[in-house]
Amino acid sequence: MKQTCWVLALLFAVLAGGLAYQFLWRGSVVPASDGRAAIQLEPGERDLVLGEMRAFLAATQRVLSIANRGTTEGIAQAARAVGAAAQHGVPPSLMGKLPGEFKLLGLDTHNRFDQLALDAEQIDDPSHSLQQLAELLGNCIACHGAYRIDTPTR
């Protein structure tokens, strides 16, 4: 009886670990024809993720435009709009489909925008903001180089 309990406990632990790996790290990903990983999302989920990426791009354009005028006034507002607070409201079902590295890049990107906003307020140096933005864009390049977002074929 004791041995059966240990076997069942081990089986449960393996199953739980597999589910955790699938939900927290692997996500819903298949190899893509272009060498990237294709994240499989339903149309509404895809729209949400791509909308967030467009918001990153719009914030980037605003930061560049403001910094090129030689000021930081407005940079904090533009950057904070896509900071960590912007990621709230993402459904858990969608988070489970995103691979771990994608989630880490996204979280780091939101956090970097928050840091850019904070530094724009405290340091008040447009060239510093531009340097931070250049480094932040490395996340975008890494993500777009590794992933694409597809809808599953039925």
The radius of gyration of the chain from alpha carbons, rounded to an integer in Å, stands at 20
Domains observed in the chain = 28-150 (1.20.120)
pTM reported for the whole predicted model:
0.83
In degrees, rounded to 5, the angle at the alpha carbon of residue 47 between the alpha carbons of residues 31 and 104 is 60
For residue 29, the SS3 value is: strand
Q: pLDDT value at position 65? A: 98
Residue 18's pLDDT is 46
C-alpha 47/C-alpha 53 separation (Å) is 10
Position 87 scores a pLDDT of: 83
Helix (H) or strand (E) holding 30: strand 29-31
What does the pLDDT profile of the chain (154 residues) look like in tens digits?
A: 667 766 555 544 444 444 444 445 459 999 999 999 999 999 999 999 999 999 999 999 999 999 999 999 999 999 999 999 988 878 999 999 999 999 999 999 999 999 999 999 999 999 999 999 999 999 999 999 999 999 997 6
- Whole-number pLDDT of residue 153: 79
- pLDDT on residue 40: 97
Question: How confident is the model at residue 154, as a pLDDT?
Answer: 65
